[in-house]
Amino acid sequence: MASGEMARREMTYTEAALEALTAAMVRDPTIFVLGEGIGERGGNFNTTKGLYQRFGPRRLRDTPICERGFVGLCTGAAMTGTRPIVDFMFIDFILDAVGELTNQIAKIQYMTSGRLKMPVLLRGCVGVGGGAATHHSGSYFPFFVNVPGFRVVVPTTPYDAKGLLNTALAGSDPVVFFESQRLYDIGELFEPEVPADYYEIPMGPPAKRRSGTDLTMITVGATLYRALEAADQLQERHGMSCDVFDCRSINPLDYEPLVESVQRTGKVLLSSDACERGSVMQDIANNLSQLAFDYLDAPPVVVGSRNWITPAAEVEDDFFPQVSWMLDAIHESIVPLNGHQLTTNPTNGELLRRKREGV
């Protein structure tokens, strides 16, 4: 290290989010966290590691397995002026509290003309879930985007995890904070470092992770990193450069940079780890078809997970989008790639072709 040069501050996604949460709890005594196993144990993924020892059981509340009960508790607590955080660990179990979420938390501010605030943060992981994948691996982005009243964020980097958590804890709206299990241990790849000081990232604008001229790639969640691999292969093998966007906030979502990119490239591929049918990516694709129709050389193409129940981790490569699937989709439905061979996992375009031909 050169004389006078400062060491780069390296943090994982988990550490960056925990740093934001710790500082917020120091600043704001009304913040408390509850969930299963998040107290003295610190959670399955260390999302609350050390907080019990620092803030005690009044602000780190371990709960029984009763999501509907403790989400209801948080609803009442928020109405009386506190700022609850629910750590579900696995986001699948948020669905056990649908009544409180959709009829109370999402609507209270509107029903009271803003007199009552609802600053509830609901966080949990999505994606790969190991042996118990069927109950621990859902990506329920479209459900919460479809419920007016929620802000929905999906950070994919340590920098964004800290900045978006700060933003979520500064507002008065309920926020669903999706975190991919694939990303908890990654370091920061896009910013110089995760700043030690407080900062916020606005909800809405997507992050542009790479610039190009031939194709727009739009992602939600951990699929970003596979899209970047696909972009590398397109550049190396076919001389195609890509704009790659990370929709770290999906409600709200600012379409202006996405439309501007599609107007330049004329081609767009969208991908996330959520099931392809009825996905947020389909909604974004539909909106882009309307907003940039005259500029598109081909319809937007969505590559999502299979429309199955999430299988065990041993077969996750057959379920979650892979780099090869993205290249297949581009070759079949957007622009032919010279010399490209389809993989054994046919994309939707190939399945439709087989169906038409009776194969």
Active site residues: 136
Residue type, 251: N
Closest C-alpha among 330, 102, 140 to residue 250: 140
CA atoms lying within 13 Å on the CB side of residue 269: 33
| CA torsion angle 138 139 140 145 (round to 10) | 170
Closest C-alpha among 14, 283, 317, 44 to residue 152: 283
Residue type, 250: I
Q: How far is CA 21 from CA 82, 163, 165, in A?
A: 15, 11, 7
Tokens standing for 138? Answer: 């859902």
Residue listed under structure tokens 């408390």: 32
Question: Is-contact 233 218, C-beta < 8 A?
Answer: no
Q: Are strands 175-180 and 207-210 parallel, antiparallel or unpaired?
A: unpaired
Tokens standing for 112? Answer: 């009271």
* Cα gap 175→123, rounded to integer Å: 8
